[in-house]
Amino acid sequence: MSRKACVVGSGPNGLAAAIVLAQAGLRVEVLEAEPTPGGGVRTMELTLPGFLHDFGSAVHPLGAGSPFFSSLPLQTHGLEWIHSPAPLAHPLDDGTAVILERNLEDARISLGQDGNAWSGLVRPFVENWREFAPDVLRPISGIPKHPWLMARFGMRALLSAKTIAHRFHSERTRALFAGLAAHSFLGLDEPLSGAFGVIFAISVHAVGWPIPRGGAQSLTNALCRYLSTFDGKVTTSSRVESLTALSDNDVILCDVTPRQLLAIGGQRFSESYRRRLREFRYGCGVFKVDYALSGPIPWKAPECLRAATVHLGGNFEEIAASEKAMRNGRHADRPFVLLAQPTIFDPSRAPAGKHTAWAYCHVPNGSKVDMLEKLEGQIERFAPGFRECVVARRVFSPAALESLDANLVGGDIAGGVMDLHQFLFRPTWQHYATSAKDVFICSSSTPPGGGVHGMCGYHAAMRALARVHIR
């Protein structure tokens, strides 16, 4: 009789785990609470008919650069990556924008006096991405396959973004780096915030920051289709209330965060494991708006139209102040805003001549404050007349996001704070294993953390296979 596995949740990590288990010959069922698979990787008509918006992830450097996803034939199952001519634009108040080119040599030249410092920071890892990515996207506890490369990275990784930004002479380059580091959801003077900036910079040059044609759902659909070529299936609209109902499986992998794991499986765990799950800390939330637009965004710096991702927040100090406010439980007056403008490069997502935009800013976890004026203020600052282009908008408070994906606790899109402690103990020192020997956790609350890369699911499933003696 073939062995059976159940995966709770069909986010990218749940689907990655399901594929690893199915590839090993297990019969796998994925149970998904929502009517559509994908979790944070879904595309929906959130505003008007014909306008397709990414509910969660929009831009996928780690999706395209993921060692596991890259090993799968996802292109033959409908996934096509689209690269905007430049990965990233960062407009400034003087009406110009810093553009980060994908090609490292082009970037070195365009960053002028800081070009060599930029290149020196990232080049060893850009040139060795295939070796670097598997080592950086795994738990830190094991011995890396490329210790020398990781040691070089480690020397940069513990620094704060503020310290790393001191390498740059120009305010423009410092602003650019601040935007990359702010993806950490940490204060820019905190350890590890620099590592995020460096990893995102590396990914720009090593992989690019692509969007999937048709929206993020295309990635989820390709994963589901590939899973179905094995003995694997996804059952939607099936919220798991208790793991007890799944006890006929050899292994259960949970693409959920610690709070939900406690709720659905608490009675299966030891008291000390339950306590450690309760101690897990969630990070800040996001306040998100999806826009249907009558035309492209009227950027003061028209070169912003070359990039699918635009960072809005001004200079380093201003972005640092925005992130510090959020870390201290306050709301920034001028929040750092991450914006994606996919339809310029993928017209299939909107009616002819029309466009969409996706934008969010960071807010304290569970915030109930309406940030719409402030978020749009930041877009207007760099694109006067933006509001006149808005045909419809859909606002997501942290609670609204959580209502469509239970993993987004308090609007936290990273599965928990990624400070030094929770970088090492995510969610506990056991990482994927729990105190119940057949139950594993595989969401972004495990290493390597948030983002669409599937590597949490991959490593959890490998651990589970070893436990059931299949590997």
The residues binding ligand FAD (CB under 6 A) are 8-14, 31-34, 39-41, 56-60, 62, 239-240, 255-256, 260, 264, 286, 288, 360, 401, 405-408, 413, 415, 443-444, 450-452, 456
CA-to-CA distance for 106 and 139, rounded, in angstroms?
Answer: 33
**How far apart are alpha carbons 433 and 447 in whole angstroms?**
12
Name which of 9 and 258 has its Cβ closer to ligand FAD: 9
Q: Given the complex with ligand FAD, which of 391 and 406 has the nearer CB atom?
A: 406
Least distance (Å) from ligand FAD to the CB of residue 453? 7
Q: Which is nearer to ligand FAD, 14 or 144 (CB)?
A: 14
DSSP secondary-structure letter at 184? G
Q: Which is nearer to ligand FAD, 297 or 456 (CB)?
A: 456
Helices of type H across 46-112? 61-65, 67-70, 104-110
Minimum separation from the CB atom of position 454 to ligand FAD (A): 8
Minimum CB distance to ligand FAD, residue 153 (Å): 20
Taking the complex as a whole, how short is the minimal distance between the CB of residue 415 and ligand FAD, in angstroms?
Answer: 6
Minimum distance, C-beta of residue 120 to ligand FAD, in the bound complex (Å) = 26
CB of 333 to ligand FAD, least distance (A): 22
Amino acid at the residue 383: A
What tokens does 164 get?
Answer: 């790393």
Question: What single string gives the DSSP state of each residue in 417-445?
Answer: --SHHHHHSSSSTTTTB-SSTTEEE-STT
Contacts of 168 (CB under 8 A, 6+ apart): 114, 117, 118, 174, 177
Nearer to ligand FAD, 57 or 356 (CB): 57
How many Cα neighbours within 13 Å face the side chain of 82? 23
Nearest distance in Å: CB 452, ligand FAD: 4
Nearer to ligand FAD, 160 or 444 (CB): 444
When the beta carbons of 169 and 239 are compared against ligand FAD, the nearer one is: 239
Comparing CB distances to ligand FAD, the nearer of 111 and 457 is 457
Which lies closer to ligand FAD via its Cβ, residue 111 or residue 180? 180
Give, in order, the Cα–Cα distances in Å from 104 to each of 63, 115, 155: 20, 9, 21
Tell me how far, at minimum, the Cβ of 155 lies from ligand FAD, in Å: 26
Q: Do 299 and 339 meet the contact criterion of CB atoms below 8 Å apart?
A: no
Angle between helices 115-127 and 193-206 (to 10 degrees): 70
CA 68, CA 170: separation in Å to the nearest integer? Answer: 38
Residue type, 12: P
Q: Cβ closer to ligand FAD: 166 or 278? A: 278
In the chain, % helix, strand, coil (3-state, to 5) comes to 45, 15, 40
Interatomic CA distance for residues 130 and 404, integer angstroms: 35
For the bound state, the minimum distance from the C-beta of residue 378 to ligand FAD, rounded and expressed in Å, comes to 17
CA–CA gap between residue 436 and residue 440 (Å, rounded): 8
d(CA 369, CA 332): 11
Q: How far is the CB of 163 from ligand FAD (least distance, A)?
A: 25
Min dist. Cβ of residue 444 to ligand FAD (A): 4
- The first and second tokens of residue 361, run together, are 């800013």
Sign of CA dihedral 384, 362, 164, 115: negative
Residue number, 91 or 212, with CB nearest to ligand FAD = 212
What single-letter DSSP state applies at residue 40? Answer: T
Q: Can you tell me whether residue 165 is helix, strand or coil?
A: helix
- Residue 114, classed as helix, strand or coil, is helix
Helical (H) or strand (E) element with 98: strand 97-100
